[in-house]
Structure 1
């Protein structure tokens, strides 16, 4: 993999990440990738490293949440989970409406211009408030393109793993 995010998978969807530990009783800090962020608790069961770890309790804390997972009862065990993704079975999610996409489906997709110039692959997406932004990576070069359907994003082809955009390349390219 040339440095892009995890590959597209039909079976699993990543909803968040364990970012740290909280206290000495095995609670973990969780960053949610859902909108709104508390929606991460609407889905389950959570899979961490492919193993189902039920939630016993959770609460908001700072910009994220702290969560108690079944079987994780001390800080040392919790520390082993830091950096791990929180995933669910894709079948647990509702199908997106027409013109709506799960970010997980867009990661790694090839981005090409309407003139068939390959810009790279989606490395990550950013939420800016005004619109979502695709970070398109080709080698060490990154471009930031607004994910605005119509004027910029012309076609999203999930099965082909390809997005067509109306984007002018800079002169130095």
Structure 2
């Protein structure tokens, strides 16, 4: 499976302004608190920017200020090499996007277009809109290198 463009991993998007000090809400913010510490560097429009202020705001959402102006909607990213290696049987969501999903007989069910975080479990969304829960009863194998996810036979009613 291909890595994100330029080896960068999205960690959020510049959202609407928050306050009068140049801060903005981060849309789809990474849950990794280390990404948002003051002094951390993020990549915006291909150029580094340093976080100069970080706080929780309305509803616990992340708000930050950078050392330079950025456009609303711009992607915030970090180099893939800055991420710790996931543990055994653990994956980053971006690693699963694009994988082919098949049942145990090899019948193709679709491709992963996004991963939805949930309270009880995460779900893979396939290109046809089907949701596959990331639970042991449903997922038999994830092979990022081979680019596929194997789903338990009959789990999706096929």
- TM-score where L is the length of structure 2: 0.84
Of 50, 57, 60, the match for 1:61? 57
Structure 1 gap segments, 5+ residues each? 1-6, 73-77
Aligned residues: 153
Moved more, 10-19 or 53-62: 10-19
Partner in structure 1 of residue 26 of structure 2: 30
User: After the TM superposition, which segments of 4 or more aligned residues of structure 1 sit over 6 Å from their partners?
Assistant: none
Structure 2 counterparts to residues 104-115 of structure 1, below 5 A: 104-115=94-105
Partner in structure 2 of residue 123 of structure 1: 113
Structure 2 gap segments, 5+ residues each? none
Relative contact order, CA 8 A, sep 6+: which one is greater? 1
**Cα distance in 2 between the residues matched to 1:116 and 1:39:** 40
Is 2:29–2:62's contact at 8 Å kept on the other side of the alignment?
no
Is 1:16–1:40's contact at 8 Å kept on the other side of the alignment?
no
Over aligned residues, Cα RMSD in angstroms?
A: 2.2
Partner in structure 2 of residue 102 of structure 1: 92
- TM-score where L is the length of structure 1: 0.77
